[in-house]
Amino acid sequence: MDLSTAPAEDPRPDPTDLHLRVLAWYADHARDLPWRRSDATPWGVLVSEIMLQQTPVARVAPVWEEWLRTWPRPADLAAEPAGEAVRAWGRLGYPRRALRLHAAAQAIVEQHGGEVPSTYDELLALPGIGDYTAAAVASFAYGQRHVVLDTNVRRVLTRVLRGAELPSPAVTRAERDLATEHLPDDDRTAAAWAVGVMELGALVCTASRPSCGRCPLADTCAWRAAGHPSYDGPVRRAQTWAGTDRQCRGRLLDVLRATDGPVPAQALVGAWDDADQRERCVASLLDDGLLVRLEGDRVGLP
């Protein structure tokens, strides 16, 4: 046989083998999270996906449980003022997500009879719902076949299939195409694969200290085979907290969350010492709709 004309062997692992390995690992190691249980509703899944954006599971779980006790259906939340959603959001961070979730609940009631829609396109059309959340809810709540690309999934696929430490800051067309190529064909397996890879990235193939010795894909991982080369893409800036506008905004909102109604604007003075930064953050909260200015120089939640 003329080896010079033989087709080159595809160095990437067989997708079916990857599926079997990840699904078997997930069956043994999946965390018992309330939004994954059999009695979780599509609404509960949607709430969890919004809350889990940039927020650890340990912080989300108790807030999620209280949220679902208070508002077990979209209609229950939609009937409340948006400010109650901001109040219940507590210290999860990025409180504009609470406003988006409230707006989504209202749209679900008005456009879908109070039931969370099941298709990707309908989910994507809800206020504040992007590609990832629409795909995740369609997959995890309704068992459909979609490419679900959160940070953990992207990191696992980048390492295993592309041999790089970390994915690019934003999802690329090539990355999405590669994920699509490795998506199982049937809906149920695809949905299980999506959550399984996500869990693998959260527990084993972590960003800073991956546990390759515990990974079911270790012997097929291109990054491990290459000697774990370091990330060489665009600079990834670490998020800070102390002294930032984010921290200031959180302190100001805490004043409102601790009361049953509006407070004099002067009540915000004690929440943050830097007057210029405080006023800038008050203005940004007003612009974002997280704060409203009322008569008598008072401020309150929307």
Alpha helices (H) in 33-73, listed in sequence order = 42-51, 57-70
Q: Name the class of domain 15-29+147-225.
A: mainly alpha
Q: What is the residue extent of each domain of the chain?
A: 15-29+147-225, 41-140, 245-300
Helix 15-29 and helix 187-203, axial crossing angle in degrees, nearest 10 = 60
What's residue 213's pLDDT? 95
The mean pLDDT of 231-250, rounded to a whole number, is 77
Q: Determine what percent of the chain is predicted with pLDDT higher than 90.
A: 75
- What is the per-residue pLDDT across 190-235, written as a single tens digit (0 to 9) for each? 999 999 999 999 999 999 999 999 999 999 999 999 999 987 776 6
User: For residue 236, is pLDDT > 70?
Assistant: no
Token reading at 223: 């990054």
- C-alpha–C-alpha distance, residues 137 and 258, integer Å: 32
Q: Are 98 and 66 in contact (CB under 8 A)?
A: no
What's residue 5's pLDDT? 47
Taking residue 299's Cβ as centre, other Cβ atoms within 10 Å add up to 21
The superfamily CATH assigns to domain 41-140 is: Hypothetical protein; domain 2 (1.10.340.30)
Token reading at 50: 């919004």
Q: Are 284 and 245 in contact (CB under 8 A)?
A: yes
Taking residue 56's Cβ as centre, other Cβ atoms within 10 Å add up to 10
Token reading at 231: 């990330």
Q: What does the DSSP assignment read for 170-202?
A: S--HHHHHHHHHTS-SSHHHHHHHHHHHHHHHH
- What is the per-residue pLDDT across 97-152, written as a single tens digit (0 to 9) for each? 999 999 999 999 999 999 999 999 999 999 999 999 999 999 999 999 999 999 99
Q: What are the residue numbers of the active site?
A: 49
User: For residue 8, is pLDDT > 50?
Assistant: no
